[in-house]
Chain A
Amino acid sequence: MNTSDAIKFRCEGVNVWYGDTHAIKDNDIDIHDKSVTAFIGPSGCGKSTFLRCLNRMNDTIDICRVTGSLLLDGNDIYSRDIDPVQLRARVGMVFQKPNPFPKSIYDNVAYGPRIHGLARNKAELDTLVEESLSAAGLWDEVKDRLAAPGTGLSGGQQQRLCIARAIATKPEVLLMDEPCSALDPIATETVEELISGLGERYCVVIVTHSMQQANRISQRTAFFHLGNLVEYDTTNAIFSTPKDDRTVGYVSGRFG
């Protein structure tokens, strides 16, 4: 595992409110490029909320307010001259439940490149779709039935299709919100392998409930508790020598 030291996201003093609820409390975190960063913590600790700040998906919630500075490659993603739609093309997202469009497998992957104009012609688009599906480890399984509906695949295949769909828009960052929680153990293993591999090419941020999963696939781990970033270090350090009592309690399974 090569761990890059280049910083992709530099977040300082991030606060998030849902109406009157203070969901994220003044957190600082640097997320490194070409590595997998895992967010762990008990339910309701704000890890998903923080993830959704990184591609401004929180904008779609009317009552949500975000303050602080979130710099992607040194540019504030909440500044006026950043278009959130453009940002989401650079920061792709994979959701908890596989949510392929009710279209063909091909159209699922080709949709992003089409709306962003990433392919000039059919041949380029075909290549891009093949590359993306290969990168998601799905090409061999679906190359003969690209016209079949994406919703007809199995759960694990659907999730990999969603990853392929995210990759196809050529993002720099991939956000994953508990991508394996709706999958069975075998599908989970496949997707985990895939995520580990993706970590070598992209900045991957993954929210997970499973500490084993965080341990297996991530290079760095951040532990959230009640809206606070309690501890952030390399995964090894978090699981072997946690400094905070709450981290110790959580990773040893005493609460959460």
Chain B
Amino acid sequence: MTDAVTDTAPATASFHASDEATARLKKRRASETRLRLYGVIAIALAALALVALLWNIVSRTMNAATEHYIAIDATIEEDEDDFLGVVKKSARGAFPYVSGRSAKRELYSLFSDGAADDMRQAKEAGTLETGEAVPMRFLMSDTADLYMRGEFGALETRASEGALTIEEDGKKVILRAQSGAFADALGLAKAGLAREADSLRRQEARQAVGIATLEQRLPDLTGDERENTLAQMTYFKSEQARFAAEATALDALITGDRDTRLALSNRMASFFVAAHGGILKLTEVSAETALAIPLVPMQTTETAPGGAWSLHILDRPEIGRPVKDRQIAILETLKDEGRIERVANWKFFSLSDSTQPEIAGIKGALIGSLWTMLVTFVLAFPIGVSAAIYLEEFAPKNRFTDFIEVNINNLAAVPSIVFGLLGLAVFLNFFGVPRSSPLAGGLVLALMTLPTVIIAARAAIRAVPPSIRWAAMGIGASKTQTVFHHVLPLAMPGILTGTIIGMAQALGETAPLLMIGMVAFITAVPEGITDSATVLPVQIFNWANASERAFDMRTAAAIAVLLAFLVLMNAIAIILRKRFERRW
């Protein structure tokens, strides 16, 4: 210390070289490294999330990129009108062995209504081929399409060892195979029964709990209440007995020996035997014999040697899937014959919404979004830019303009559904703008976008260097000339960026549009700003809510279309910005 007083320079040097200083340096470096690490982690997480999102959307969209057609022959008259009839007649012609009302209904429901629509359109366009045995491609229904994509599980093929003897017994067929060829099937069926027995025992236990609860309550009750409770207890007891009896019956089946034939139900896995070009569905099975009904007839009933027949299992019970066993048999037959075509789904872009997923498309929503965005831009851009110019260049700075500025900033943070309510009250109810029209949607979204545009435009105008204003005014340009000849062109890139941000926000907006009826189910493509329409985000919302599973992949595809729309809009903005951009 005394040294420091007499000679400061060496003391300072020793201060910066001391252990404390070294420790401080180490700490500083560690904190810098840590900060950089946090940044890298944050970016990595964001990138991972983005990749996951894109991968999810793209992989699901790929599913919607194709659709299935069934190629069969049809007979079409010159003046045909009943195209649904044509589809049904052709189906009957291609599968003459399908008889009975319910079987036929199952056959018809393999085909989409879109198949008839296609023919009607072809007729209107004059390209429909008529005559007998015209080769046609019929669009597959959504459930059949999902089966083809393996949505309900894939058929599992078991090896077929030994010969299969086939014996017809009325409508049914008795199958015999040596060396326990059906033992696997029997085991699976019994496992299914065991699960069912378990579930029955749980229900039985639940009844017991109910009875115990009522018994506790019983001593406190009198009159009608007591009577009612007693009646309820009697009911619970009978149910308990029923569940117990059913479970015991199942137990008996499960413990039955492997040579007793077990009856199969639609609550168990489905078993198919393919032989001699036909497909049989097993209804009773033991280890070595089975009773079956032919879904697709066999050519002969000769004994099939080992390897010439096969056993197929579909794990999911028939009751738990919309596609039935008979339909599966027909689809598999068609597939083996090469009569199922998988083609690109261009329909998705040329059709509008529908209750049937296979003929639902995005066109209506896409055009609706385009019109709505057009209205939004035409309103929000000029009004927003004018407001920004006035506030920034002309308005006096006083308490009133301060008040306006605060309000504009706050408006940008108002929840969008509030703008929807405003639109409903003002535009629809007071001004009578057509409900669910792009005009109404555009007006509401323009209101929502305006604050964003104004704020961005003001910032861009403020960022223009004042020297440019002085230069213009110094040679006698008026305020208006200065603004429109110099300030605005220089601010334009910034204004456009802000506008595009606002428009992108508006494009993805759903909530305010729900309020003004754009959520309605609309199958027509809007031809103007006053037609009923829906927009992309609302379409996605509707499809995501739909109960049909086939809408799943269409939802993903619609999201992909929305993202593509956004990217396109941003690309246009970047091009415009590059053209307006000037360096100084």
Contact = CB atoms under 8 A, between A and B. Distances in A.
A88 interface: yes
A90 B476 CA distance: 8
Contacts of A115: 476-477, 481, 485
Nearest to A60: B473
Interface in B471-516: 471-478, 481, 485-486, 490
B478 A151 contact: no
5 contacts: A55-B474, A99-B467, A102-B582, A115-B485, A149-B583
Contact of B475 (A60, A102, A151, A166): A166
Interface of A: 55, 57, 60, 62, 85-90, 92-95, 97, 99-103, 111-112, 115-116, 149, 151, 162, 165-166, 168-169
Given A62-B396, A151-B583, A151-B584, A85 B468 contact: no
A88 B467 CA distance: 16
Interface residues on B, range: 20 to 34
Given A62-B397, A97-B467, A151-B584, A102 B490 contact: yes
Contacts of A101: 468, 471-472, 486
B474 A166 contact: yes
Nearest to B396: A62
A162 B478 CA distance: 18
Given A115-B481, A151-B583, A99 B476 contact: no
A94 B471 CA distance: 8
Given A95-B467, A97-B467, A88 B474 contact: yes
B470 interface: yes
Nearest to B467: A99
Given A102-B582, A151-B584, A116 B476 contact: yes
Contact of A95 (B470, B476, B477): B470
Contacts of A88: 473-476
Q: Which 5 residue pairs across A and B have the least CB separation, nearest first? A: A89-B476, A93-B474, A99-B467, A102-B582, A102-B584
The listed residue with most A CB atoms (<10 A of its CB), out of B396, B472, B476, is: B476
A168 B471 CA distance: 13
Contact of A111 (B465, B475, B582, B584): B475
B475 to A, nearest CB: 4
Contacts of B465: 99
A99 B583 contact: no
The listed residue with most A CB atoms (<10 A of its CB), out of B468, B470, B485, B582, is: B470
A62 B584 CA distance: 28
A85 B478 contact: yes
Nearest to A88: B476
Given A99-B468, A115-B481, A89 B582 contact: no
Contacts of B475: 88-89, 92-93, 111-112, 165-166, 168-169
B583 A112 contact: no
Contacts of A151: 583-584
Contacts of B467: 95, 97, 99
A118 B468 CA distance: 22
Interface of B is mostly: helix
A60 B477 CA distance: 13
A99 B481 contact: no
Nearest to A162: B471
A57 B583 contact: no
Contacts of B470: 57, 93, 95, 99
Given A57-B473, A57-B474, 7 more contacts: A57-B470, A88-B475, A95-B467, A95-B471, A99-B465, A103-B582, A151-B583
Interface of B: 396-397, 465, 467-478, 481, 485-486, 490, 582-584
A101 B475 CA distance: 12
B477 A85 contact: yes
Contacts of A97: 467
A100 B471 contact: yes
The listed residue with most B CB atoms (<10 A of its CB), out of A55, A97, A101, A103, is: A101
B157 to A, nearest CB: 74
A111 B485 contact: yes
A89 B481 CA distance: 14
Contacts of A87: 476
Contacts of B478: 85
A169 B471 CA distance: 13
A53 to B, nearest CB: 14
Nearest to B581: A102
A92 B471 CA distance: 10
Contacts of A93: 470, 474-475
Contacts of A112: 475-477
A90 B475 CA distance: 8
B490 to A, nearest CB: 7
A182 B384 CA distance: 38
Nearest to A83: B478
A111 B478 CA distance: 13
A100 B490 CA distance: 13
A112 B473 CA distance: 10
A85 B473 CA distance: 7
Contacts of B584: 100, 102, 151
Nearest to A63: B397
B476 A169 contact: yes
B583 A92 contact: no
A105 B515 CA distance: 55
The listed residue with most B CB atoms (<10 A of its CB), out of A88, A149, A162, A166, is: A88
A112 B475 CA distance: 6
A101 B477 CA distance: 13
Contacts of A168: 475
Nearest to B481: A115
Contacts of B396: 62
A240 to B, nearest CB: 34
Nearest to A112: B475
Contacts of A103: 582
B444 to A, nearest CB: 38
A99 B467 CA distance: 6
A85 B467 CA distance: 17
B481 to A, nearest CB: 6
A87 B478 CA distance: 11
A162 B583 CA distance: 17
Contacts of B490: 102
Contacts of A149: 582-583
A117 B584 CA distance: 27
B465 to A, nearest CB: 8
A64 B210 CA distance: 89
The listed residue with most A CB atoms (<10 A of its CB), out of B470, B471, B478, is: B471
A86 B478 CA distance: 9
B579 to A, nearest CB: 14
A60 B393 CA distance: 11
Nearest to B469: A60
A149 B583 CA distance: 9
A86 B475 CA distance: 9
Contacts of B583: 102, 149, 151
A138 B412 CA distance: 50
Contacts of B471: 95, 99-101, 162, 165
A103 B481 CA distance: 15
A55 B471 CA distance: 13
Contacts of B477: 85, 111-112, 115
Contacts of B468: 99, 101-102
B474 A86 contact: no
A155 to B, nearest CB: 13
A87 B473 CA distance: 10
Contacts of B486: 101
Nearest to B480: A85
A91 to B, nearest CB: 9
